[in-house]
Chains A and B, each alone.
Chain A
């Protein structure tokens, strides 16, 4: 059974701090790892990672995959209150690409 573990489960920081969120996975037939941000409603797509060591970047957010360690990190620099959200990590598994999600990291950024 596919498994995704995220840490920490919750995190409180001050604006301007840098945070690192972790995701580890166990999946047969690895294809990719995805990061989502969830505010009030539905998750929104952030990154898809398929190759080790290649950083994906979008503004202050970046992510990298380590296939040897079966893990990924999501970094957010110079955090803002608008970064407050649940960050979800997911991996597709099986032949039908159904996603297995981790429990998420609840990030709270205080002014």
Chain B
């Protein structure tokens, strides 16, 4: 089925470890996004990529880096994980200049101990 695929679904890291969350979409969307969701905080934008070759910071970018590898793939990297990065991470994509909203991946539950 067409959609947004995120891996892994669950991950436990020790403080200071690094990891990359992968996201791929097969809907030919131009724009891709990484959000984190914490209890009572809604969804907060970490980074986004309006189109292939561009990335921009969102509301909470500190401690993260991203790579728009090609039109399909947008990865999120934690270089040195901290307990404050324990969260559920969602990748999403959308067509540019559309009001149709996003298609979300199923999420990655990350725990940093």
B42 touches A101 (CB 8 A): yes
Complex interface: chain A residues within 8 A of B43 (CB): 43, 88, 90, 99, 101
Main secondary structure of the interface of B (DSSP, over half): loop
Smallest CB–CB gap between B25 and chain A, Å? 13
Assess the A99–B40 pair: CB atoms within 8 A.
no
User: Closest chain B residue to A42 by CB distance?
Assistant: B104
| Chain B residues, CB < 8 A from A96 | 31, 48, 50, 56, 96
Interface hits, A86-111 → B, CB 8 Å: 88, 90, 92, 95-104
With A96-B31, A97-B96 known as contacts, the answer to whether A34 contacts B40 (CB < 8 A) is no
* Contact yes or no, A103 B100, CB < 8 A: no
Q: Is the CB of B98 within 8 A of A97?
A: yes
Chain A residues within an 8 Å CB radius of B98: 97
Which A23-49 residues have C-beta < 8 A from chain B? 31-32, 34, 36, 41-45, 48
Residues from chain A with Cβ under 8 Å of B105 in the complex: 42
CA distance A10 to B56 in the complex (A): 33
Within the assembled complex, what's the spacing in Å between the Cα atoms of A10 and B97? 33
Name the interface residues of B65-113: CB closer than 8 Å to any CB of A: 90, 94, 96-102, 104-107
Chain B interface residues (CB < 8 Å from chain A): 31, 33, 35, 40-45, 48, 50, 56, 58, 90, 94, 96-102, 104-107
Interface residues of A (CB under 8 A from B): 6, 9, 31-32, 34, 36, 41-45, 48, 50, 88, 90, 92, 95-104
